[in-house]
A and B are shown apart, each in its own frame.
Chain A
């Protein structure tokens, strides 16, 4: 079925020299050398047994037409039995061996790919979406596996065709050339069909995608449609897309329905001519009836290799570009390079950023000559508009990105000298959308600290609002959080993420505060958890909540990569500078003062 399978190939830029690529592929196959050797033996056996069948039968026919001896006929029939047995037996063994080679190679490739994906720094993930990375690790590696199947199948068919070809050529060269001459015609017709099939398939898929989009939209909006009794309108949208898709796909179906009948008819024409031309040769005594028969039966066996060959290059290219994509993932250069491997003892948590230059993209400096000193145990809130550099500071302290010049010291260690794994062990981080892994709440809390006992986790959980928050979870700590934590509300996810950090007991805590709306009760619990962490760790907070900026030791106000103001909430507000401005923009509506004011406004409007 190779003919239809590769209809959706895509363009891909070459990044590897062919030789380099081949060497890489061979490298993955090498550990399976012995298996590969046996596979090729059994492929040959299958091919020989397959080719033997028509040869044996045609020889038998010659003998029978000359009324030959019984013993030879018995032997021939025995060999035909044997050919059937060998075809099946050798295939069995070959496929058992192949599936092992393929599965092992794919597994190794996948593991290698994920291993390097896990070790790439975040600048890598800025360039490649996570969906693309995942598809490289799962689909592209599978394509690579298919490549092996494809090549071995074709080799098997070709070997059989070559054996038959040699036998036929030795019987009667001219007749053989006639058969061979017919093949290019078949090849090009098949190629032409492929081209048309690709086109109509693409159109069919596009129409299909439209139906899916329409269904998705209207089914998601069904509650709204029902609320306003507009079912008729959305039905019409659907009906139109559904009928469109039907028409496009019928066209596609017609082309695909035509392929094999056309090729069969072409094969029939070839057979008819061969019956006549070959038959004349028999009548003239050039070849025997057996040989004539062999030519006729063999025609079919050239048919499939040619058909597959017409699809072969496109498929091989597809397989090769898939493996290129995998190797590109494995070989991507890390941007963050550590010069040393110091594994520090318990850190104090002092952070010194000195004369730092940093940018994500060429020509777009985020920081130029930036310095910041955070004392051990201090809590610092970073505030500023989007693009001021708040999260860049957090990410640089976490060593997710490489900076261009300047220095960052953690305690007195150059951040580039630290063993990353050991360093991050002492770092607690929560991103703006707190990420949980599927599993239970307890498992997520334990994520950073495997040795925590159930009792210890329970104790931690009880520290937050006397454990009232556990009531909101159907199974308490054993609640399944779902993929990416989707079963929990944003507030619950934040609480779990905060507990995860509490369990880790980090020297440095980095928080990118969520902007999602959270009910006031949960909000209060979050604040409690946050206070517990702030007490023990040096903290860098990208603040979005008023209560956070009020609870830190120091607020650092950033604008375009520069620190323009520093101090505490009251002091900065009194100054009436950029912070006061930011307060009016982002924090004012969170204050109780604002709440009371709305109440008054509401009353006035009601009276008027």
Chain B
């Protein structure tokens, strides 16, 4: 116990698994952040660069040698011995080139894979370190999308993205560098190509981006409505609305078609392709002119023209390599948004840390979510140790929010929440939460065995303790009805439990940690009366000896609670015992009439 008290609420990892300080500092900009990650694998970067340069150089050797071979053949008599040597040289260089290219590709691939691994690791540990407030506001789907797709995008940004960008840029540089050997002026064409290529590519990507967004949006709209209509086909048919749905679909499909055609039109007019054709022709004309002026030989024309053919690679690759890189940066930006979101609660390590009696009091509490209508105001009531309070009200009346103020998932805007007469903000957060157990509306169980799930809060619990907890929660019998009993696996590959069964497991989990205050968000329904009986018994048992806050829909629980708080639109509409409310509240009376 002492150890867990010592530990601060922020979750920390063993040292070798921690994210480095350099990376943390770089979290201000996505590019810096990616660079900070990538720099750890600088040797792979060098491998990629060396591979890229030498691969391009070795590719450039082929046309140059062919040019030399041609000159050798054009001699009188042709120099056949030289021809053989040239052929051998090509053979060797091209096999070596294969190795170099592999080095380039695999360096990039390895960097990408490691980035994916490391960034997912960083994101995940950062999620673990965030407060409960953060997680209760952050949809799981969002975190999932960041941890899967966006992390992937950063991998793809390196391979194939940057790999092809760097690889293909070298194919532009080679003609510029190597054309000097034939004649200095021959650099003009490849150099102008580079300038125009960059400009036209920039324009192309700039023009394409909003259109691609529009295409994606149109497809999203089409797909969402389609999925809804097909899922709700019974409703569509029951309302005789097939025709309207087909019309709506047709409209969406046409919208998508128009956007896609627009995108296709921009893609079709791909200027770099034109530039490449013109560069080849202009370069050829230039070389022939120099030849006729006697400045270069026939083989030089062939070699030079061959160098210009290298431009094909960057031209075609640029269709997607650059957008791959920008997708990676966008992914990094979204991941950083998640990581950088701070939470406001302080841990208050110096705060009160002692065993609770369980007295709970709300004093004139106001609370509002930022940018949200839902709020609580003037909440004021007191619960004595061991009492049970039922919180009732319609959806949106603020029941769940009220419960979350107790364990400081949120802090009040004004007023106070007191436990044993001490403001919850003055408690040590760890001590506060350790003694309050919340069973949420959606009960989460891990894909482990039933025993492991019950012992989740106390992994050292013995089998007897686990079974005792399960018995108190009325879960023992249904657990034994499974073939593997307590070792039954739950989740995707295991059995699926009903809402009532899940709830009882969660109760067992709480029994084992024995909290002072229990908050139970009970909204499961029982289809049959027998299950209802068991749940009643379990909840009653749980309420025994603990201060209990039950958010409930069950009339029977409302009936036996010591105190009932009726919420309406964030204010207390009525409060008191059952008998009092039957007298004072018409709405309350109504729900107890048949």
B495 at interface by CB-CB < 8 Å: no
Contact partner of A265 among B94, B264, B555, CB < 8 A? B94
Q: Per DSSP, are chain A's interface residues mostly helix, strand or loop, or mixed?
A: helix
Contact partner of B281 among A77, A211, A222, A273, CB < 8 A? A77
User: Which stretch, A15-23, A33-41, A156-164, A278-286, touches the partner chain B?
Assistant: A278-286
In the complex, what residues of A have CB within 8 A of residue B117's CB? 242-243, 245-246
The reply to whether A589 and B556 contact each other, CB–CB distance below 8 Å, is: yes
For B228, give the chain A residue with the smallest CB separation.
Answer: A437
In the complex, what residues of B have CB within 8 A of residue A472's CB? 394-397, 569
In the complex, what residues of A have CB within 8 A of residue B263's CB? 99
The reply to whether A213 and B124 contact each other, CB–CB distance below 8 Å, is: no
Q: Which of B344-383 contact A (CB under 8 A)?
A: 372-374
Nearest Cβ in chain A — how far from B296, in angstroms? 11
Bound CA–CA A512/B94 (angstroms):
73
The reply to whether A253 and B527 contact each other, CB–CB distance below 8 Å, is: no
Bound CA–CA A124/B289 (angstroms):
73
In the complex, what residues of A have CB within 8 A of residue B393's CB? 519, 521
Per-residue CB proximity of A190-213 to B under 8 Å, as 1/0? 000000000000000000000111
For A274, give the chain B residue with the smallest CB separation.
Answer: B87
Report the count of interface residues on B (CB-CB < 8 A).
171
The reply to whether A111 and B394 contact each other, CB–CB distance below 8 Å, is: no
Nearest Cβ in chain A — how far from B554, in angstroms? 8
Q: Which of B128, B264, B277, B320 has the most CB of A within 10 A?
A: B277
The reply to whether B140 and A599 contact each other, CB–CB distance below 8 Å, is: no
In the complex, what residues of A have CB within 8 A of residue B544's CB? 605-606
Bound CA–CA A225/B11 (angstroms):
11
The reply to whether A57 and B284 contact each other, CB–CB distance below 8 Å, is: yes
Nearest Cβ in chain A — how far from B146, in angstroms? 10
Known contacts A275-B66, A474-B373, A483-B228; is-contact A429 B90 (Cβ 8 Å): no
B334 at interface by CB-CB < 8 Å: no
In the complex, what residues of A have CB within 8 A of residue B374's CB? 474
A148 at interface by CB-CB < 8 Å: no
Contact partner of A253 among B113, B224, B231, B457, CB < 8 A? B113
The reply to whether A435 and B232 contact each other, CB–CB distance below 8 Å, is: yes
Q: Which of B489-530 contact A (CB under 8 A)?
A: 491-492, 509, 513, 523-530
For B491, give the chain A residue with the smallest CB separation.
Answer: A217
Per-residue CB proximity of B74-93 to A under 8 Å, as 1/0? 10011010011011101101
B29 at interface by CB-CB < 8 Å: no
Q: Per DSSP, are chain B's interface residues mostly helix, strand or loop, or mixed?
A: helix
The reply to whether A435 and B234 contact each other, CB–CB distance below 8 Å, is: yes
User: Which stretch, A316-324, A359-367, A368-376, A420-428, touches the partner chain B?
Assistant: A420-428
B28 at interface by CB-CB < 8 Å: no
Bound CA–CA A267/B93 (angstroms):
12
The reply to whether B394 and A521 contact each other, CB–CB distance below 8 Å, is: yes
The reply to whether A234 and B302 contact each other, CB–CB distance below 8 Å, is: no
For B105, give the chain A residue with the smallest CB separation.
Answer: A257
B540 at interface by CB-CB < 8 Å: yes
The reply to whether B249 and A589 contact each other, CB–CB distance below 8 Å, is: no
Per-residue CB proximity of B244-266 to A under 8 Å, as 1/0? 01100110011011001101110
Bound CA–CA A261/B107 (angstroms):
13
The reply to whether B93 and A268 contact each other, CB–CB distance below 8 Å, is: yes
The reply to whether A595 and B555 contact each other, CB–CB distance below 8 Å, is: yes
The reply to whether B80 and A103 contact each other, CB–CB distance below 8 Å, is: no
Contact partner of A134 among B226, B253, B267, B532, CB < 8 A? B226
The reply to whether B97 and A268 contact each other, CB–CB distance below 8 Å, is: yes
In the complex, what residues of B have CB within 8 A of residue A254's CB? 106, 109
The reply to whether A65 and B91 contact each other, CB–CB distance below 8 Å, is: no
Bound CA–CA A239/B233 (angstroms):
42
The reply to whether B239 and A424 contact each other, CB–CB distance below 8 Å, is: yes
Per-residue CB proximity of A579-600 to B under 8 Å, as 1/0? 0000011111101101110110
User: Which stretch, B171-179, B181-189, B479-487, B584-592, touches the partner chain A?
Assistant: B584-592
In the complex, what residues of B have CB within 8 A of residue A489's CB? 395-396
For B120, give the chain A residue with the smallest CB separation.
Answer: A242
In the complex, what residues of B have CB within 8 A of residue A227's CB? 132, 433, 437-438, 457
For A588, give the chain B residue with the smallest CB separation.
Answer: B529
Bound CA–CA A289/B445 (angstroms):
77
Nearest Cβ in chain A — how far from B493, in angstroms? 10
The reply to whether B556 and A242 contact each other, CB–CB distance below 8 Å, is: no
In the complex, what residues of B have CB within 8 A of residue A409's CB? none
For B4, give the chain A residue with the smallest CB separation.
Answer: A229
A9 at interface by CB-CB < 8 Å: no
The reply to whether B559 and A212 contact each other, CB–CB distance below 8 Å, is: no
The reply to whether B238 and A429 contact each other, CB–CB distance below 8 Å, is: yes
The reply to whether B110 and A253 contact each other, CB–CB distance below 8 Å, is: yes
Bound CA–CA A596/B245 (angstroms):
50
Known contacts A84-B274, A435-B235, A592-B555; is-contact A491 B395 (Cβ 8 Å): yes
The reply to whether A99 and B69 contact each other, CB–CB distance below 8 Å, is: no
For A237, give the chain B residue with the smallest CB separation.
Answer: B446
B293 at interface by CB-CB < 8 Å: no
A602 at interface by CB-CB < 8 Å: yes
A272 at interface by CB-CB < 8 Å: yes
Q: Which of B114-140 contact A (CB under 8 A)?
A: 114, 116-117, 120-121, 124-125, 127-128, 131-132, 135-136, 140
Known contacts A246-B117, A257-B106, A261-B99; is-contact A77 B284 (Cβ 8 Å): yes
A107 at interface by CB-CB < 8 Å: yes
For A233, give the chain B residue with the smallest CB separation.
Answer: B459
The reply to whether A217 and B144 contact each other, CB–CB distance below 8 Å, is: no
Q: List 22 A-B contacts (CB under 8 A).
A: A84-B280, A93-B268, A111-B250, A114-B246, A138-B223, A211-B148, A223-B444, A227-B132, A228-B509, A229-B4, A235-B124, A242-B117, A264-B97, A269-B91, A269-B95, A275-B90, A427-B240, A447-B239, A484-B232, A504-B239, A592-B555, A592-B594
Given contacts A88-B273, A447-B241, A521-B393, 8 further A-B contacts (CB under 8 A): A64-B298, A133-B230, A227-B438, A242-B117, A435-B234, A472-B569, A521-B392, A585-B530
Nearest first, the 3 A-B pairs at minimum CB distance are A268-B94, A84-B277, A99-B264
